[in-house]
Amino acid sequence: MTTGPTVALFATCFNDTMWPDAPRAVVTLLERLGCRVVFPREQTCCGQMFTNTGYADEAVPLVRRFVDVLGGYDHVVAPSGSCVGSVREQHPWLARRAGDEGLATASEDVGTRVHELSEFLVDVLGVTDVGASFPHRVTYHPTCHSLRMLHVGDKPLRLLREVRGIDLVDLPAATECCGFGGTFAVKNADTSIAMGADKARHVRDTGAEVLVAGDNSCLAHIGGMLRRQRAGVRIMHLAEVLASTEGAR
């Protein structure tokens, strides 16, 4: 029953390697919504870690690879606001910096067709009720790049509100950075931990059982802290909640 568009999944290297449940949930969810999902195997990484640590030259071949492997699709979807932000905002800059105007134009063009999951669901498919069911107390952390780079606004929350059985509670100081920041988490570990401690405290204050976000990188940081504290809060990617049919009749 593939009545919807064909979607190329950009799994992102971090999810592919460490958090496969998120891209798997994207496949489940999009197929349930009638899309035809493809996974171009030649994809690897958007290069964000290199770019944001100052290794722009190392990132340029990955920009080229992204355009070559995913440029031919009408819709590319990734379960990461941060990686989509890097593709849209940083790829053209990286190409221009390397003096490759052709690649810059191509990556700008591809960038218009690359979507973070909630953008694709709400803006392209036009759905907020994705038929999910998840009977748990949940709080949602809007990650910085989805919020301030992609401007996804309340799209993830609109999707979560339609989930059957969910007890969605507001996260205090939600828009404040969790302190992950890629290599910032190790280069400035003390500051990162200070920020993460406050975020974890706000999460605990909600009494939520599950912390949800659209980026597993931020979740690895906050979740790693909550786990160290034996806080009794687990982390889940937005895609996993939206793919869930737990407790559905």
Considering only residues 115-154, where is the footprint of another protein by CB under 8 A?
A: 144-145, 147-149
CA neighbours closer than 13 Å in the CB half-sphere of residue 150: 33
Binding letters toward another protein, positions 159-198, x by CB under 8 A? ----------------xxx-xxxxxxxxxxxxxxxxxxx-
**For another protein, the closer CB: 73 or 134:** 73
CB of 202 to another protein, least distance (A): 12
Q: Please choose, out of 105-113, 123-131, 222-230, 237-245, the segment that lies near another protein by the rule CB under 8 A.
A: 222-230
Q: How far are the Cα atoms of 44, 63, 83, 97, 160 from residue 105, in angstroms, in the given order?
A: 21, 12, 19, 13, 36
The binder of another protein chosen from 4, 32, 58, 113 (CB under 8 A)? 58
Distance CA 134, CA 122 (A): 19
Q: Which stretch binds another protein (CB under 8 A): 115-123, 126-134, 153-161, 219-227?
A: 219-227
What H or E segment, with its residue span, contains residue 202? Answer: helix 189-205
What residues between 78 and 117 interact with another protein by CB under 8 A? 89-90, 93, 97
65 near another protein, rule: CB under 8 A? yes
DSSP string, 76-131: EEES-HHHHHIIIIIHHHHHHHTT-HHHHHHHHHHHTTEEEHHHIIIIIS--S---
We find the least distance from the C-beta atom of residue 180 to another protein, in angstroms, to be 7
Place of tokens 């790049």: 145
